[in-house]
Amino acid sequence: MKPEILTMVEHESNHNGPVFLDRWGGSGGGDGGSTVSSQDKVMSEVYLGRQICNLVACEEVDRVERHETLAQWRALLDSTGFGSVHLGSNAFKQASMLLALFAGGDGYRVEEHDGCLMLGWHSRPLITTWA
């Protein structure tokens, strides 16, 4: 494969380190707010619970969750010849509109950072997307 563009969405956490306490500190987050349906909340707890359990309870080949930060991915991709592509203001506007529509302002925010979009909860970055 010789891709010309690669789009990535990743948890903004460093869960790839060998030290248990470092992974533990980065595995939590905020709650989904009171407007989340009970079915959505159960599905989120199952999905996130499985990820958190793998991050803090498994080692070596048993640990499959290995999130890395934007800075770590950028360094890796830059070293392989990929450069950043600015996502553009339309992506930011659409993400902000969707967030306002579905999150209801419960502390979530969208920011544009060096051409990337970042979803955060209060001051904590949660997910980053870039190309």
> Average pLDDT, stretch 51-74?
80
Tokens, residue 58: 């498994």
C-alpha count within 13 angstroms, C-beta hemisphere, residue 109: 10
User: In the chain, how many domains are there?
Assistant: 1
Q: d(Cα 92, Cα 73) in Å, to the nearest integer?
A: 21
Q: d(Cα 81, Cα 65) in Å, to the nearest integer?
A: 25
- Does any domain span residue 23? yes
The residue assigned the tokens 């992974």 is 23
**Structural domain range at position 23:** 8-130
- Does any domain span residue 27? yes
Longest dimension (CA), the chain: 45
What are the backbone angles phi and psi of residue 123, rounded to the nearest 5°? -100, 5
- Does any domain span residue 2? no
Query: Tens digit of pLDDT for each residue in 95-112?
Result: 999 888 887 667 889 998
pLDDT at residue 103 in the model: 72
- Does any domain span residue 3? no
Q: d(Cα 118, Cα 92) in Å, to the nearest integer?
A: 9
pLDDT at residue 85 in the model: 87
- Does any domain span residue 13? yes
pLDDT at residue 74 in the model: 86
pTM higher than 0.85 for the full model?
Answer: no
